[in-house]
Amino acid sequence: MNFTKINKKEIITNTILENHFLILVLERFNIGFGLQEKTIEEMCQEKEINVNLFLTICNLHINKTIENNLNLNNNNIQKIVEYLQNSHNYYITELIPNISGQIEDFVKSRKEKDLTFILIERFFNVYKNEVFKHLEYEERFVFPYITNLLSQNETNTNYKINEYKYNHKDIESKLNELKNLLIKYLPEKNDRKFRRNFLFDLFRLERDLNIHTIIEERILVPSIEKIEKKQKNR
């Protein structure tokens, strides 16, 4: 893992080659390839993205560090919302269905029923439903509220962003329980390739969701609280 922080003068292509998982960050900012020799700063100017915001999220993915010195305008905050919505789409349509598919395929391939794995399948299905419920709450209530607030449209006065903060349950902890269950109790007779691929995807999902939560709690929520405070003081 690269623990050095990237800066705006770096060539974005080189940064991606050194940290391939940042491809997802580009995707979530709706940035395609064909980046040529552009620096991060040049790319962000072209795409109308706050360079400090982009660097903050990239460095968060690289070394899990975050600085609280962002001064974001409404357009920047809307970019964060779009970023998070794109993340949701990735979880709902790709990563989580891929993990579910691995489980289903493995269960179907077994000649005999494996009680341990049946429990794992049930555990993940319950967890998956919790994640989808959490993401649906954000899509139906939180993001529309933020968008209306930013556009100064009439908002639901009974709702404030701190409700989201208190409803923001830790949906990563159950993944850790599932990983422990797999490593400690899945019988050795089970397929090693499946076990490896399944665990890798669980680790990937857990890490991505953890960063997702940090972006929401450390960047998005404080920014919205500032706007709410300003509007209240008018």
Q: Please report, for the chain, the start and end positions of each structural domain, with discontinuous segments joined by +.
A: 12-63, 74-232
The answer to whether residues 96 and 165 touch, using CB atoms and an 8 Å cutoff, is no
Whole-prediction pTM: 0.89
Report whether pLDDT(158) > 50. Answer: yes
Phi, then psi, of 39 in degrees rounded to 5: -80, 165
Q: In the chain, what percentage of residues exceed pLDDT 70?
A: 88
The CA angle 143-149-153, to the nearest 5 degrees, is 115
- Over range 156-172, report the average pLDDT: 68
Confidence of residue 195 (pLDDT cuts 50, 70, 90): confident
Which residues contact residue 154 at a Cβ distance below 8 angstroms, ignoring those fewer than 6 apart?
Answer: 148
pLDDT at 194 over 90: no
Residues 6+ apart with CB under 8 A from 120: 103, 178, 181, 182, 186
How far is Cα 47 from Cα 44, in angstroms, rounded to an integer?
A: 5
Q: How confident is the model at residue 119 (pLDDT cuts 50, 70, 90)?
A: confident
Q: Are 231 and 146 in contact (CB under 8 A)?
A: no
